[in-house]
Structure 1
Amino acid sequence: MRDLLFNAGYDDLESLNHLVLDTILQLPEAETTTAFAGDPEVLLGQWLDGMSIKEIVKSTPDDTDSVESISRYIEELFGYKLPWIISALLRISKESLGIQDEKSSEYIRCYPSMVKHGLPNPVASWAMSVGISTRDVALRLAEAFEEQASDISSHEDFVAWLSGLSDDSLRHEYGVTGYVLDDLRYKLGRMAINPLLKPIKPLHEVLPLQQEVVGMFYGKYRMAARRVRSGDKLELRRDYDNPVDPNAVTVRHKAGQVGFLSRSLAQRLAPEIDSGNTIVATAVKTVRKDKPSITVELRLG
């Protein structure tokens, strides 16, 4: 148990599941109102692998358990009872062995959440904790984060990375839309630490910098974006009526608005623009295709 508390990883989930269920399923607190004819340990393994309820039912050797009954069983045992019992069990184990929480494995710290949501790794559970509503999207975000930030592994780093994704990316690459996207942005806005504001650097240390314009997937912006050429001067203008981002900064060309600055950059530059500082924007790289892209260089005027 001590070794698992310190070093548990993905390859140890099977052992961890066995140890936990062998102990917990004997407790009266773990009794469920819905019966399950199969092996709870196998079911937990399938659930943590990200299998859907329908996939689990198809893999069941007989038809004694319906989609509805397995769904209720998972919701009651994995979604409610197990997480809080596991949390208590882990807390008692750490205290009895004299192990500080921050010294335990990330998998151990996130295991109750992983069981609750049916996810195989801590990063995916972090995604669910900040407002991602489906396991599929959480798993895809976790995979992308681990590919792009393989040397970074903290919850704070994940939140910062997720905050840096544009709304376009979240919509078109991960399917996060509507109120889910709005709620996610609200939560991230309260949680994330903007690297440009920690600590607040003087503007002359922030600029010059280059960044890709976001928000060009909308029809009218896309048409204007296709007319931008490398070397063209662009204008930054505050969007005070933006219902989603009070710091929004639009990027405009003589052909019209082409998009926005990213949220993190707008958060840093909006107060400067409001206070009268002139920031010069120049297109330094453009792709004029069906999905245009524009990289701008920003300098103090």
Structure 2
Amino acid sequence: MRILSGFSTLVLLSTGMGKSLCYQLPAYLYAQRSKCITLVISPLVSLMDDQLDLHELRRHIYADTVDYYTIKKLIQEVFPACKCKQIQQKQQELWKDVEDSELLEVMDVCDGRVRCYDGPRQLRKITKICPPVAVALARRRMAGEQVERFNEVEFDVVEVADTMGWQLPVVKRGLRQLQWSTDRGGGRSGVLVEFSSLSFHFRSYGDLSDEEMDRVCHFLHSRVQDQERTQLFQLTACFKAFKSVAFQSVMSCMDGLEESRSLQLKKL
């Protein structure tokens, strides 16, 4: 309580008595209120290095790790159980439904905008050569909007591709081609196509068994652990390299720059 209250306190503790509470916690609390200095005098330098420095290094690899529970939840979303057996009764229809729903498409939102500088007439002309734009306008018309005066249309490219049953790369490639004229002269067509957010998609087989799901989870988790070990090894190597050329105290480097240590660090 004296330490937390801000009083000068002399504490003598043996190993294992919780010295971290005596200097880390007060230093953190005081730093929130005002500038302060926490001085720790301890003969256990190697023990402090092991407990503090390496612990600090491990904190920096958290951004490169994913826990097993999160991986399992991801796998369950990517590989959902096939519900076709509960829906279809006939064997022929069931088999067709299995073929259709074995593949799950996971896509991020990708908004696209098609803008025609020549006005609504050019946009109507585009609908005859680009089915995705025609579908987007049809959806807006069904929603009660007056699309006859539109000179631009913004829509969810992924949703339109899924509605048409087209592959997403094919739809995006067709939209980009609208920016170029197909006439003999070539050049720009006066149509601007913009994607506000890029997307990705992949196909995955569903209806996996519990054993297969576990194998996928273990595989991904092992990759995460390998990445953790790699990052920790790199951080530890950097820590040892800097420590090997560091001065024992600030008084040793106040007189001038020692180029030998700098060259030694560059060789490392």
Query: So what's the TM-score if we normalise by structure 2?
Result: 0.24
Task: Specify which structure has the bigger relative contact order, considering alpha-carbon pairs within 8 angstroms and separated by 6 or more residues.
Answer: 2
Rg bigger for which structure?
2
Query: So what's the TM-score if we normalise by structure 1?
Result: 0.22
